[in-house]
A and B are shown apart, each in its own frame.
Chain A
């Protein structure tokens, strides 16, 4: 159950309360997010839509602990991330968040296997255990036969699948996807959304996704609209 009225019972996985984000540019305050409330439960698949500059990516960055709000709080699985130090936030991110970007953001000098392995380098897993994890998630995204390939040797869709594998390899609490199909053709986009959908349905992952594409948003269980920093509308029947 996704709520945006701030009246939930506190059983949410991601609980956002009165979130404000204001930037100051040339002496002028720009309110990107205003008094935003959001409650997402485990296993939800939420899509955020809205025009450019509406604050979608800013919200995603705040939820992922990449940025700090001006005021308000974000509690994820009981941890209030808005009160964490930068160092603590980094290790929290490693354990709880999987990021998927529009432009894949793979490291070009590493193979698909090595890219996926990156988050696991921060764990205490042995080399053999890391290998097993990486092979498993690459099988989930259907790239077992491409694990030795470098990003330049892969298509856009395949690169994004590697990025998905990297996002889920450490089994994070939730996934944040920023326009995951924005750079792909329709066929590749469908494949990516198929995989993300399977992660929700088969593996019970919680996914928060930003998109401009209504067809992509349709895949989500809940679609929220952001306009001028305010969640103004919910669609999809459950919000």
Chain B
């Protein structure tokens, strides 16, 4: 701690340069925070997906349905605790730009299988009571100002016509990264009104008795319906969520590539800055060694400077990203639930410190090996 003043004083030597270097870290880590949040949003909650759930879709395509009759056959398979189902609705609320997902779900089982969402007893009772009821996620409610008792009109696209829903309540995510940007309504209402597709569902969600039984149960399900007109593809919910993302292209690779380029540039810029900063001070470093500072201590002082620069810029950048993400999430709801998790924050901070250390490594080694006699001659 007694050396902190020396490190701090050196950072203040060239204020503009230090500020710009800190600024580089700030911008890079701000971008890192944004990209990480967007990546998480694109993964459609894959990271938060239930480990005890399998999704059963039509083997040919996700957009093709499965018979409603499969439900009972699924329930009879060993290793399955519960079965629920969902169907994509694809309605338009006032304007196509107001996109949000609407999914018809089984009123009795959906929220039991998806215990990641919380719904008040009152809202759940209202949902069960009214065939036209729907529940909306917290971020969707905040986006359009929906509240219990409101009426939501949707223009059907897959199933044409004007559809109206009564908001029974608002569901919350039990985890901060849970996606609450959508709406669930009752499948019996859809079944009653739709002109085609009756007796089918979009996909099934199966809850396992035993977490380790996923592979066996998946095979059992797909074997059960093999050679039928509606063969199935059963996969973990994580893989299911990831397949949604893949439909939009390899977003993850794109995001990772952008991040890698940004950090590589940051590494080069910081490395150059530290090299200049150390080279300018060879004489002073020699004086430190003359009065008894060991090479290792000088090495540590240089690294400490770099870490301090990286740490300050990184912290502020990540904090700024965390601050703007909620607004961005509201402005771009199609990106899903954007969120800077504590893990992302910590990883970003460590990454910044790591880059600081790596960038300062060569100059610090040079300073450590500096021969006092040679350096004093240059003063």
The residues of A with any CB-CB pair to B shorter than 8 Å are: 61, 64, 66-67, 86-87, 90-91, 93-95, 99, 101, 103, 105, 107-110, 114, 118-119, 121-122, 127, 166, 170
Which one of B3, B10, B295, B373 lies within 8 Å of A109 (CB-CB)?
B10
In whole Å, how far is B371's beta carbon from the nearest beta carbon of chain A? 8
Interface residues of B in 251-285 (CB under 8 A from A): 283-284
User: Known: A101-B376, A114-B5. Is A66-B287 also a contact (CB below 8 A)?
Assistant: no
CA distance A103 to B375 in the complex (A): 14
The residues of B with any CB-CB pair to A shorter than 8 Å are: 2-3, 5-6, 9-10, 12-13, 283-284, 287-295, 372-373, 376, 379
B290 contacts A66, C-beta separation under 8 Å: yes
Which residues of the partner chain A approach B379 to less than 8 Å between Cβ atoms?
101, 103, 105
User: Known: A66-B373, A127-B2. Is A166-B291 also a contact (CB below 8 A)?
Assistant: yes
Identify 12 residue pairs between A and B in the complex whose beta-carbon atoms are under 8 Å apart, listed by A's number: A61-B373, A86-B295, A91-B292, A101-B376, A105-B283, A105-B284, A105-B376, A107-B9, A110-B5, A118-B288, A121-B3, A121-B6
A90 contacts B293, C-beta separation under 8 Å: yes
Interface of B is mostly: helix
B13 contacts A87, C-beta separation under 8 Å: no
A67 contacts B291, C-beta separation under 8 Å: no
A121 contacts B290, C-beta separation under 8 Å: no
Which residues of the partner chain B approach A61 to less than 8 Å between Cβ atoms?
373
Which residues of the partner chain B approach A114 to less than 8 Å between Cβ atoms?
5-6, 9
Nearest opposing residue in chain B for A109, CB measure: B9
Which residues of the partner chain A approach B372 to less than 8 Å between Cβ atoms?
66-67
In whole Å, how far is B12's beta carbon from the nearest beta carbon of chain A? 6
Which one of A67, A99, A127 lies within 8 Å of B373 (CB-CB)?
A67
Which residues of the partner chain B approach A86 to less than 8 Å between Cβ atoms?
295
CA distance A118 to B295 in the complex (A): 15
Nearest opposing residue in chain B for A169, CB measure: B291
In whole Å, how far is A52's beta carbon from the nearest beta carbon of chain B? 13
Nearest opposing residue in chain B for A64, CB measure: B290
Which one of B287, B294, B295, B376 lies within 8 Å of A107 (CB-CB)?
B287
In whole Å, how far is B304's beta carbon from the nearest beta carbon of chain A? 14
Which residues of the partner chain B approach A87 to less than 8 Å between Cβ atoms?
294-295
CA distance A43 to B289 in the complex (A): 26
